[in-house]
Amino acid sequence: MRLGEAIRAWQPAHGRTLPPGEHERVMAGARMERHGGLTALYLCGTPYEMGYQQGTLARELIHGFRQSAYAYVTGQVPVPRAFARPLLFYYASSYWRTLGDEHVREMKGIAHAAGVHAIEALVSTAIWEILLVSGCSEFAAVGPATADGSLLHGYNYDLMHPDHALIQPYLAVLLYRPSQGIPFFTVNTVGTVGANAGMNEAGISVAWDNTHLKDRQLVQGIQLPVVPFILTLRRLLQYATTLDEAVQTITSSLPRPLADIVIIGSAREARAVAVETAGRSHAIRDMDAGTIWSTNCFRSASLAPYDRRGDSRGLPEAEAWQCVPRFTAYSQLFTSARGQITPAMAAAFLRDPYPREAQGFLHPNPASRATICRSITSWSLVMQPGHGRFWVSDTRLPGCQGRFYAFDLHNWAHRPDLDLPASGFHSALAAAQRFRAGDLPGAGSALAEALSVDGPSAPLLLMQALLKGLVGDEEAAAGILEEVQARWAETPAAALARAWSATRAAGVSSLPFPSAIQPLVELRAAEDWPGRAVTYEPAPASEGPAVDARLPVEQP
């Protein structure tokens, strides 16, 4: 059977369209929408019918993703190009025996309608277990942390390499009304049947990240294939009505040869937990003061010592910023916003540190991928299960800096009146890119766009002062620097503004522009305007922040 699946890579796939009357009946309840770069698919019925609807509506996207993904995989597998797809099909075929009948039928529906091989729907679903991991992060909060006491659940889906951005045009929010189980939604690439995160009409929400173990002690003897984890999460969303049922779905899927962390929320129970799993072991971590979060590191007493960075609990803040910077950033955010968290603020958390940098904040860890929002954050999600609402970001990297499109799960509709606007990050990034290219007028135009979105912002105004100074408008530059000092006194941004005003060249921290998320320009103290902005160059590892050798910096 596996050899036969490999041979299919060289054979053309043939679609199977239902008879006209049956086709019309099946498609009557389904539809596709486009919101910016995001596709929304509304699917209902039996497993086969929902697969058939997806394959029909997203046929062109599925074929586009198929072409892009194969081009990428061909370059990654160490075999001649002609054998790359057969090899992928061969390895993926071992997962057939791990699937439930309903998932097989849904995959066949996708394949028949889209005109692809059924194994290709399996490849799209199982590929994460075969080749790819991600560096995601997530949080949940309830009363007393949230403004109205309701459960809020946020999630950043982070890519591990810029090449993985090939998925961006093919991302979709999939809203399901299955013939069996509970209506739910998830976000994934077209052509798959799994879930990375999502929410159901019973008020259950879930999101997933992972970590790495320091050794293989907990996973000794456990081999792939196992049930793809995104199918476990799909089953949770489709059938779980309580937190206990959701946790049982996760723990009953063990063992796995990997280390995973899942935050599950229940709006009806006003509670969320983190389920940490490794091999045959698992641990449950409860909320603290109505909040819980995860950033690719075990934090339970039983599993934290097995994490590759060691037990990062109880570190002094300075060490925590170096070892687990995103976990530490979330701690600061929740402490500063207790009782104030709304969906808009949850989106701001996912965009961190860009919103805080606007107020003069300097991210303490300059290492790559040390921020909550990363330059390769693929998409982001805010869920409010008690109200049946969720927000999915646009797909331009980093996704969380773009518009968040609001959806109502109960009414099966986009809610444009509840959309959350984009930040000015992308315009600020364009300003930095044009500045580095020597295009000062272009940098000024992009900067003006960023300011029109974000309003007065410490880094944006500092860059504006720099551009004024470089063209000799000293009076305008001086006025802007005075504004920075007045608005954000006692911040690193104000200190830099004072240094520029006094033409001091030492003793002041530099600031990344447009953000520590993607620093392209370093704003620094210098005696003249040309010296005050240079191309950002990350420090070599040996000259970077001191890090305990036992505590590798948080990566995925």
DSSP 48: H
Mean pLDDT of 347-360: 98
- 385-403 pLDDT, tens digit each: 999 999 999 999 999 999 9
- 296-343 pLDDT, tens digit each: 999 999 999 999 999 999 999 999 999 999 999 999 999 999 999 999
Q: Give all strands (DSSP E) within 104-166, no chain letters.
A: 137-141, 152-158
Structure tokens at 79: 């075999």
Distances (CA, A) of 478 to 447, 448, 452, 482: 18, 18, 21, 6
Q: Is the pLDDT of residue 543 over 60?
A: no
The amino acid at residue 278 is A
Distances (CA, A) of 181 to 232, 339, 401, 460, 494: 14, 35, 34, 50, 56
pLDDT value, residue 539: 53
Mean pLDDT of 526-550: 64
Structure tokens at 459: 């880094």
Q: Is the pLDDT of residue 131 over 70?
A: no
Q: Is the pLDDT of residue 505 over 90?
A: no
Q: How far apart are CA 534 and CA 491, in angstroms?
A: 21
CB 205 within 8 Å of CB 140: yes
Q: How far apart are CA 333 and CA 83, in angstroms?
A: 49
Q: How far apart are CA 414 and CA 498, in angstroms?
A: 47
Question: Strands 533-535 and 281-286: what pairing?
Answer: unpaired
**What secondary structure, in 3-state letters, does 59-74 show?**
HHHHHHHHHHHHHHHH
Structural Rg of the chain based on CA atoms: 24
CB 158 within 8 Å of CB 136: yes
Q: Is the pLDDT of residue 133 over 80?
A: no
> Sheet of 31-35: strands edge to edge?
31-35, 38-45, 171-178, 184-189, 197-200, 204-211, 256-266, 271-279, 281-286
The CA-to-CA distance between both ends of the chain, in Å, stands at 36
pTM for the whole structure: 0.94
The amino acid at residue 526 is A
**What secondary structure, in 3-state letters, does 231-300 show?**
HHHHHHHHHCCCHHHHHHHHHCCCCEEEEEEEEEEECCCCEEEEEEEEECEEEEEECECCEEEECCCCCC
3-class secondary structure, 102: helix
All domains of the chain, ordered by start, with CATH? 2-130 (1.10.439), 137-161+197-220+236-422 (3.60.60.10), 426-541 (no CATH)
Q: Is the dihedral of CA 335, 340, 343, 347 positive or negative?
A: negative
Residue 132 confidence class, pLDDT cut points 50, 70, 90? low
The amino acid at residue 508 is V
Least confident span in 132-141, 316-325, 475-484? 132-141
Percent of the chain residues topping a pLDDT of 90: 85
pLDDT value, residue 127: 75
Structure tokens at 495: 């200190």
- Establish whether the linkage from the previous residue to 144 is cis, with ω within 30° of 0: yes
Q: Is the pLDDT of residue 129 over 80?
A: no
Task: Classify residue 470 as exposed, middle or buried by CB count within 10 Å of its CB (0-12, 13-18, 19+).
Answer: middle
- Compute the 3-state secondary structure of the chain and give helix, strand, coil in percent, each to the nearest 5: 40, 20, 35
- Establish whether the linkage from the previous residue to 183 is cis, with ω within 30° of 0: no
More confident residue, 458 or 15: 458
Q: How many CB atoms lie within 10 A of CB 472?
A: 10
